[in-house]
């Protein structure tokens, strides 16, 4: 069977890296997108190739329209089609500032990278996926075209999509927007058999949480999450693999919490 292709944004480090390497182990071609850290992305490519799959590192700032177009064009040039888009790239605010004093510059930056980037990248990729689905239906007839391969779009949001942290409102608002984005594209793409999913990680051990490690160590030990441990990139990767392998064929617009039970209310 021909290898399928995944484009994973921000996959040189952290959660994206875990996802890219897991897809490589499952035999996927992987495009390892990064913003600045070329060495980290090159290392991920080496690891994927060592597992027997193909991978290419591609620099692109997902907040730039030109870069998004180039990323999609280069992916298609390398691998012909995109079967899975994982919107993972994201940033935290440079400083955690109170809601009453946080500035517009940080807001614009967070919205551009964390919401506008994935929104319009999804639009670009969805068009390509739709064209590929139409092409297969034309060749094989409706039923076969659907079952040949079910493309999917996965967006990594956060527990911040519904948890109010007044010291990083910009981050929370952007993540909440990703939740609606998932619903919108799920409805729009359902007829084409394209599944759209949101994965909501909790507290995951990466560079992003490095600066608040001690704070979260204490909160986790104190029972913030029913499962009292840090999440790891591999925990998020497993949820992506379940989608990539087609294990959720009658679900779309679904939210998958990968948060050690953080979202549960307790009494
Ligand atoms: P991370 O360790 O800081 O890694 C971020 C990755 O995104 C890097 O590969 C980085 O590229 C890339 N990136 C940043 N800005 C980019 C841009 N404009 N264009 C393209 N790529 C860009 O972060 P992480 O913890 O793995 O987070 C990954 C995603 O999970 C984010 O969306 C984050 O909001 C979300 N999340 C994280 C946690 C957590 O606890 N860590 C929890 C919930 C949700 P470079 O390597 O080139 O800098």
Q: What is the pLDDT of residues 112-162, one digit of tens each?
A: 999 999 999 999 999 999 999 999 888 876 554 444 479 999 999 999 999
**Residue 140 maps to a domain:** no
CA 19–ligand 1 middle distance (angstroms):
12
Structure confidence at residue 138 (pLDDT): 86
Q: Is residue 109 part of a domain?
A: yes
Does the structure show a pLDDT above 90 at 86? Answer: yes
Look up the CATH number of the domain holding residue 113: 3.40.50.720
The answer to whether the CB of 62 is under 6 A from ligand 1 is yes
Helix (H, G, I), strand (E, B) or coil at 157: coil
Please report whether residue 23 resides in a domain.
Answer: yes
Q: Hey, whose CA ends up nearest to atom 10 of ligand 1? A: 10
Residue 250 lies in a domain: yes
Q: What are the start-end ranges of the E strands in 10-140? A: 29-34, 55-59, 84-87
- Tell whether 203 is covered by a domain: yes
Any domain includes 263: no
Domain interval for residue 73: 5-134+146-258
Question: Percent of the chain beyond pLDDT 70?
Answer: 97
Q: What is the tally of structural domains in the chain?
A: 1
Q: Is 119 a catalytic residue?
A: no
Verify whether ligand 1 is closer than 6 Å to residue 14 (CB atom).
Answer: yes
Determine the number of helices (DSSP H) and then strands (DSSP E) in the chain: 9, 7
Domain membership flag for residue 267: no
193 Cα–ligand 1 center, Å: 29
Residues whose CB falls within 8 Å of the CB of residue 259, separated by 6 or more in sequence, listed in order = 159, 200, 201, 202, 203, 225, 231
H-only helix segments in 167-232: 169-189, 213-221
In a domain, 264, yes or no: no
Instruction: Tell me, using a 6 A CB cutoff, whether residue 63 lines ligand 1.
Output: yes
């Amino acid at each position: 069977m021909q290898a399928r292709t995944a484009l994973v944004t921000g996959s040189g480090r952290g959660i994206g890296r875990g996802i890219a390497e897991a897809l490589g182990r499952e035999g996927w071609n992987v495009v390892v997108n990064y913003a600045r850290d070329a060495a980290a992305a090159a290392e991920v490519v080496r690891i994927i190739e060592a597992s027997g799959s193909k991978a290419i590192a591609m620099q692109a700032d997902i907040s730039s329209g030109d870069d998004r177009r180039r990323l999609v064009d280069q992916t298609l040039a390398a691998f012909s089609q995109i079967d899975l888009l994982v919107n993972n790239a994201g940033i935290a605010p440079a400083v955690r500032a109170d809601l009453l004093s946080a500035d517009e510059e940080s807001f614009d930056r967070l919205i551009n990278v964390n919401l506008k980037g994935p929104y319009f990248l999804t639009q670009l990729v969805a068009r390509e996926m739709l064209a590929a689905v139409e092409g297969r239906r034309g060749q094989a007839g409706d039923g076969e075209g659907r079952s040949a391969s079910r493309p999917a779009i996965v967006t990594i949001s956060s527990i911040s999509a519904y948890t109010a942290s007044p010291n990083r409102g910009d981050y929370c608002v952007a993540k909440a927007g990703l939740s609606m984005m998932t619903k919108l594209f799920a409805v729009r793409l359902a007829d084409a058999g394209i599944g759209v999913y949101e994965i909501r990680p909790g507290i995951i051990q990466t560079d992003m949480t490095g600066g608040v490690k001690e704070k979260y160590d204490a909160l986790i030990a104190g029972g913030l999450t029913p499962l009292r441990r840090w999440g790891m990139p591999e925990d998020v990767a497993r949820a992506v693999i379940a989608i990539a392998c087609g294990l959720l064929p009658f679900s779309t617009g679904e939210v998958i919490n990968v948060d050690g039970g953080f979202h549960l209310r307790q009494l």
